[in-house]
A and B are shown apart, each in its own frame.
Chain A
Amino acid sequence: MSLINSLKPGGKHGVPSSESRDPIGFLVAGLSKLAQSDLIDTLRLRKSTEQAVFTVTRNGFKTMTTASRTFARAGSRGVDGVRLPAARPRGVFDLTPTEDQQMLVDVVTEFADEVVRPAATEANETCEAPEALLKASLEIGLPILGVPESLGGISEERSAMAGTLVAEALSRGDLGLAVATLAPGSVATALGLWGTDAQQQTYLPAFTGDDVPAAALALNEATVLFDVLSPSTTATRTADGFVLSGVKTLVPRGAQAELFVVGALLDDKPVLFLVESSSTGLSVEADPAMGVRAASLTRLHLDQVTVPADAVLGATDGTTYVECVRLSRLAWCALAIGTGQAVLDYVTPYVKQRQAFGEPIAHRQSVAFMVADIAIELQAMRLVTYKAAARAAAGKNFTREVALARKICADKGMRIGLDGVQLLGGHGFVKEHPVERWYRDLRAIGIMEGSVLV
């Protein structure tokens, strides 16, 4: 790099590349460099800094992915795995969940209230889900929700609707922790939906057993105007399999994951690949973001990673990948609804208690109408999402419905986060209240692709 280029301020620290420095600017930049240097520390001019935790700061520190267990090969390759039958609604407009769904929702709601919410603040700080919480999430069956009964799961039919209700209930507790706990089950669900007999027999026993591995669906990439349908991660055919290269971002619990489902372009079509974490060429780096921090987000580097021929999950013509993207968006819509509900439930008592000008601020229309609009848009988000989910579960085309759900949940979800903070005023801006966290989490909707699915 030329000297001139290194003196240019742009292209780093969020400064546009068109910026230039004037003499004062150079002086200030020099002072800033000095202020950051170790020299200052050896002179004991600064309090000792805290040890940066891997997942909390993005420091470019790459590490090997965790060594995966040995997934014992089993089953027949090239033979379709078990497929769940579609739900069969009787053609009646109905908003009533089935008894089984309601039972699930009740269990998960209790878990969200009593375990998830109390853990949310600290998990956000440490960028880590507590071990006990992850364990408890296994006990209530989250990883096997979408796994067919005959393969050790609890599902008798397509689980998109049940999964949507569960994700919503869970994220009412906390969105970040919801992602952390739903990520393994998302991979298991994907195996149930698209896995061959061999893939199901090889991997699913780990998810239905006692020692469930962390696993993640990695579709995001660090591209401006990212289009998930055109990933820049590539898959190249070799004599006995494929070579994958690229970088995936915002991968939940990537440092712990033992199995990844990675999206890559193969012959110009997006395709899903099963990648075990012990594969050579995989490395992982902390990728903390403004929100969803409890999910320990990471960047997954694939440097000439070799995978066998049967690592392809589903079809190679792009159809499986697109369906996966849609089901993942559905999950993020559900997470938005749960978080929006958390905001509504929180601001409602707050505005009734908070006094200004001698009466509760709820008595003012400008405040009350904001709450009303949160309630209205939240219910609209919920209905549009449920429609898409019910169609997915029934095996109907839900392309349009999920696109609309994603749009309304991204737009109105963010609005709810924004208004939630506004309704609390200064209290909304400080970490004493969870509303600022929901604000950060809700920005993820509409950006996130993959990570979870229903």
Chain B
Amino acid sequence: MINLDDPQKFRPLVGQAHQVAMNMLRPISRKYDQAEHEYPQELDMLAAMIDGLSDSGASEGAGAAGVRREESDGDTTIKNGANLASVMSIAEMCWGDVGLLLSMPRQGLGNSAIASVANPEQLERFEGVWAGMAITEPGVGSDSANIRTTATLDGDHYVINGEKIYVTAGDRADAIVVWATLDRDLGRAAIKSFVVPKGTPGMRVDRLEHKLGIRASDTATITFENCRVPAENLLGSAEVDVKQGFAGAMATFDNTRPLVAAMAIGCARASLDLTRDLLEQSGVVVDYDRPAIVQSAAAAKFLQMEADWEGAYLLTLQAAWMADNREPNSLEASMAKAKAGRVGSDITLSCVELAGSIGYSETELLEKWSRDSKILDIFEGTQQIQQLIVARRVLGLSSAELK
């Protein structure tokens, strides 16, 4: 039966995440926006607390741990599972602070990659490891099939060489999931991901970026020079299946894109919630029954933003719900990220405008959210990449036809 209300069973989880976001992340939000590159030590305690919640079963996949596709067990009842729980709790945490969420120990995007493509043995071995994700290179961004970092089999080790940039939590994480090619001539099919533990000889953090937003999260440049990792750290299958192509590695994105969409949704809702409050204090109350055109311009803009937000939110829940119910969701994941990414920017920037100098000044967090939101329309596939994916799917065109 069609029902798009928040799943009842996740109310406690979302409630907890909200309390954490409000009482733990918000108080230190501005602090680490200003103290870029400083490690938010408060998060260690938080991570311990979240682990405790996970162990007690009170939360179901509070973060990146829960995005794996379970094998079919023949059960056809509709499920609200780990994917929905993840996007909802991540949105809630990002209502607190996106940068801090990205710095949460053991909740990295690398963890999503592990959860998505690792075999059972690897899942067990890497449990509890905080993993960052290294895809982008100085010369390669959205065209991740062209990465130049190489992995060469040498005995029972792979030798990795190359330079990775924009590695979120690259300095803080316990390990990095590195994308590298086994053979550049074989194209995208030869791209595999490798778990490289911190401290592995040959892996070196060169520098940390100074950024527009999410400054609480460290973004590292990492160089690999003859970095040897055990062959069993290659995630998934080592076989180069030219037919399957990029699908293996790209499957990660079907899982991580809804998560990034959820981040944009959480950040945008922070802006909306505060702006609604500020508007009400100055006498502008949004009336849901009166037509927007007979209300003030601010109220009409608010209605438009909230409507767009609702659309982005539900697209994100849809993508996660499909994953929970083992339906392929590449199209919906990209739709969610495209919509949430652009809506996140429109809302956070417009809220600054509506709040005027209160919005622009550092006395409030509105300006910060409008800086934080921008990256969410860029990483894990830019707006344009999402449009490209959606267009190819909808039009039934190959990447050769629609470049």
Contacts and interface: CB of A to CB of B under 8 A. Distances in A.
Given A363-B402, A376-B390, A404-B307, A368 B397 contact: yes
B321 interface: yes
Given A227-B294, A404-B303, A93 B5 contact: yes
Interface string B291-306: 1111000000001101
A391 B303 CA distance: 19
Contacts of B318: 95, 379, 383
Nearest to A374: B394
Nearest to A381: B311
Contact of A407 (B304, B335, B401): B304
B21 interface: no
A348 B292 CA distance: 33
A226 interface: yes
A390 B3 CA distance: 6
A373 B288 contact: no
A403 B311 contact: no
Interface stretch (A17-25, A83-91, A135-143, A285-293): A83-91
Given A363-B401, A363-B402, A383-B318, A390 B4 contact: yes
B146 interface: no
Contacts of B312: 380
A371 B394 contact: yes
A372 B4 contact: no
Contacts of A384: 307, 310-311, 314
Nearest to A412: B311
A: interface residue count bin = 35 or more
Contact of A93 (B80, B288, B387, B388): B80
B388 to A, nearest CB: 7
Contacts, number: 173
A264 interface: no
Nearest to A400: B288
B293 A372 contact: no
B185 to A, nearest CB: 27
Interface string A35-74: 0000000000000000000000000000000000000000
B338 interface: yes
Interface in A397-427: 399-405, 407-408, 411
B288 A399 contact: yes
B339 interface: yes
B317 interface: yes
A332 interface: no
B397 A362 contact: yes
Interface in B253-295: 288-294
Interface stretch (B6-14, B121-129, B200-208): B6-14
B335 A379 contact: yes
Contacts of A375: 335, 390, 394
Given A93-B321, A95-B2, A225-B293, A408 B310 contact: yes
Contacts of A348: 394-395
A227 B3 contact: no
A391 B308 CA distance: 19
Contact of A380 (B2, B78, B339, B392): B339
Interface of A: 87, 89-98, 101, 161, 225-229, 322, 325-326, 344, 348, 351-352, 360, 362-363, 365, 368-369, 371-373, 375-377, 379-381, 383-384, 386-387, 389-391, 394, 396, 399-405, 407-408, 411
17 contacts: A87-B1, A93-B4, A95-B2, A95-B318, A225-B294, A348-B394, A352-B396, A362-B397, A362-B401, A363-B403, A372-B387, A380-B311, A380-B312, A389-B2, A390-B3, A404-B310, A405-B307
